[in-house]
Structure 1
Amino acid sequence: MKNLRAVTTLLIANAVSGVAQGITMIAIPWYFTSIMDKTQLFGVIYFIVTLVSLFWGPSAGTIVDKFNRKKIMLTITGSGTVLIATLATLTYLSNGEQWIYVALVFGVTVFIYNIHYPNLYAFAQEITEISNYGRITSYLEIQGQSTFAIAGAIGAILLTGTDDGVFKILGRTFDLGFKIDAWPLHKIFFFDAFTYIVSFLLLSSIKYESLFHKEKSRLSFLKRFKQGVSFLRENRLIFIFGNASYFVFATILVSGFFLIPKYVDAQLQEGAEVYAWGEMFFALGSLFAGFLINRVFDAKGPVKGIIVLSCLASLVYFSLVFNIWAGFFYFAYLLIGLANAGIRILRMTYIFKTVPNNVIGRLGSIFMVINTLFRLFFILLFSISIFTVGNHVVYAFFILGIFTLCGMSILIYYLKPLRALTRN
């Protein structure tokens, strides 16, 4: 690999900031749903942030295609340091209105996510030979999920602390030998800002040779976007596949940030450590998918694999309606992580085979806009009081199970023509 050192540094830098980001994004939903008992308020915040990302996402894709990707990453980490550190300071100094700054940290992090990940993959592709592209995407998936698993483990400890050095997981007690006090949010935010600094320094040291020529285009953003829409009008099957195979992803974001904290608190009647460990098991399931999914479904094809995994996700959502045991919740969330990551891997494999490289970015933006609209609908729906009182959050999981079954049914209906498309 020609840019091996650059790729290695990129992975390390992404891992460093990813751990603290993960802890932050675990802590914030728990703060609103359990500590403040303001699930509806968080629903409004999440809706507003998602609505903004509806417009920011396509613009971020255009920025990634137009400017130097290393400079974009440096801008992200530099501005992330300043913004998160400032909000951490305001959170620490606040008297009674802390939630406003916590909400802003959530918004800034989502805003960063929406440009960070498209830029990360584009930069990785730019410095990697085509023959090694499969390897680098696997490395990024494994690194990302490993980082999130570590964030879940650390978050479980930092959010609740330990009682006289004793920590509990899966009903078992572990003696750490020393006491850890629970961290207030401002400390978690300062830790997040610090990792942005470390990531910035690592990224600034990267030296690489670009392996792809980036064509300069004078077309406006709107005209580029219209080209993507025209392609999908002429290729209806790709439009159907791109959206139906994205149904599970929409449910993951809604459940992970919005429903699961309330579910753990109201249905399982457990604390923050169960929520954080759940996120770790989700990441472990995703890791299994990264290592195994192509081997399992290689012969059957990506579309069949997505159908099977969508069915698995639906069954898990239905099971959560009746579950009251934290141990089963961990197992269920591991399966959801496996299904989501497996679908993502198989989905991108299919898209790479059927979509030209010169329009793939714009098509990704279109699919993301449609997916965001689904998420906005669910956030509004699940913010209604019937889903937020008592343990009624379980009804939301039933609806998500039906939704994922709809995506699976669409893929089953178009299975033959979709499989034929990869043979042409």
Structure 2
Amino acid sequence: MKEGLTFIKENIKENRSVSIFLLLSFMPFIAVMMTNYLFPIYLTQELNASPAAYGIESAVYGFGALTAGVFIVSIMKRTGTELAIMLNISLFALGISIIFFMKFLPVYFSIVFLLAFANAGTRVARNTFMIQKIPNIIVGRVDSFFRFITLGIRILLIFFFTYVTANDRIGLAFLGLSLLLLSSAGAGWILYKRKQRKQSALLKSVL
């Protein structure tokens, strides 16, 4: 982790948007870890689902992730790696933002499929982005540093979610997760658009 941080300081500090963009791309993964805690409570308290719903949810999630694995390479070829990351983060943020209000089990399973697709798609695109931007000899150490940061975020969120769900306020937990993801998506789009404008201005100056 120390070597990863050193590399970031020495090589990415000139383009801080790269490191911020990478951190934002981890947000769906963080959210998935949180939903592993929230979804069982949501199924029980809000949807009054039977135990079979837990198994169906896992199957739907697995199918969504598998679908992303099949199509994400084609998506990246058409959109580019960074845009693919942003589209998947935005899809995930949208799904989390509406899932609490769609209290109908088939709709819930449909959103779980989209969340699985978006999370797996973001992970593949993020790994591709890191390989493109970071030398192979150090990419694992940089990835470890970002995972250390995301672990700290997950610990803080677990404290918050444990408190609110213990007080029968699971809606507040979903609201907090939604705000985190929407903010991440918004910040990511700002960075992406800013880079596009810089590239466009550079191209015009060359021409």
Q: Sort the TM-score into its range (normalised by shorter chain).
A: 0.7 to 0.9
The one-letter code matched in structure 1 to 2:6 is S
The one-letter code matched in structure 2 to 1:228 is G
The whole-number CA distance in structure 1 between the counterparts of 2:172 and 2:79 is 34
Q: CA deviation at 1:417?
A: 6.2
- 8 Å CA contact 1:320, 1:394 repeated in 2: no
The one-letter code matched in structure 2 to 1:299 is R
The whole-number CA distance in structure 2 between the counterparts of 1:313 and 1:283 is 16
The one-letter code matched in structure 2 to 1:245 is S
Alignment of 1:169-208 (within 5 A): none
Matched, 1:403 2:180: yes
Residue segments in structure 1 that go unaligned for 5+ positions in a row: 1-224
- 8 Å CA contact 1:320, 1:329 repeated in 2: yes
What SS does the corresponding residue of 2:74 show, helix, strand or coil? helix
Matched, 1:358 2:137: yes
The residue number in structure 2 matching 1:275 is 54
The one-letter code matched in structure 2 to 1:348 is N
Structure 1 outlier segments of 4+, above 2 Å: 386-390, 416-421
Alignment of 1:230-241 (within 5 A): 230-233=6-9, 234-235=11-12, 236-241=16-21
- 8 Å CA contact 1:306, 1:347 repeated in 2: yes
- 8 Å CA contact 1:306, 1:346 repeated in 2: yes
The whole-number CA distance in structure 2 between the counterparts of 1:418 and 1:240 is 13
Number of aligned residue pairs:
194
Whose relative contact order is higher, 1 or 2, with alpha carbons under 8 Å and at least 6 apart?
2
The whole-number CA distance in structure 1 between the counterparts of 2:191 and 2:172 is 30
The one-character-per-residue Cα deviations of 1:328-348 (angstroms, maximum 9, x if unpaired) are 111110000000000001111
Alignment of 1:109-128 (within 5 A): none
User: Higher helix fraction: Structure 1 or Structure 2?
Assistant: 2
Query: TM-score scaled by structure 2?
Result: 0.87
Matched, 1:388 2:166: yes
The whole-number CA distance in structure 1 between the counterparts of 2:130 and 2:150 is 16
The one-character-per-residue Cα deviations of 1:363-411 (angstroms, maximum 9, x if unpaired) are 1110101111111111000111x32344x31321222121111221222
The one-character-per-residue Cα deviations of 1:77-133 (angstroms, maximum 9, x if unpaired) are xxxxxxxxxxxxxxxxxxxxxxxxxxxxxxxxxxxxxxxxxxxxxxxxxxxxxxxxx
The whole-number CA distance in structure 2 between the counterparts of 1:260 and 1:321 is 10
The whole-number CA distance in structure 1 between the counterparts of 2:116 and 2:38 is 15
Residue segments in structure 2 that go unaligned for 5+ positions in a row: 200-207
Query: TM-score scaled by structure 1?
Result: 0.44
The whole-number CA distance in structure 2 between the counterparts of 1:402 and 1:412 is 15
Larger radius of gyration: 1
Q: Percent identity?
A: 24
Q: CA deviation at 1:277?
A: 1.0
The one-letter code matched in structure 1 to 2:41 is K
The one-character-per-residue Cα deviations of 1:12-66 (angstroms, maximum 9, x if unpaired) are xxxxxxxxxxxxxxxxxxxxxxxxxxxxxxxxxxxxxxxxxxxxxxxxxxxxxxx
The whole-number CA distance in structure 1 between the counterparts of 2:62 and 2:102 is 21
- 8 Å CA contact 1:289, 1:342 repeated in 2: yes
The residue number in structure 2 matching 1:316 is 95
The correspondence for 1:335, drawn from 95, 114, 118, is: 114
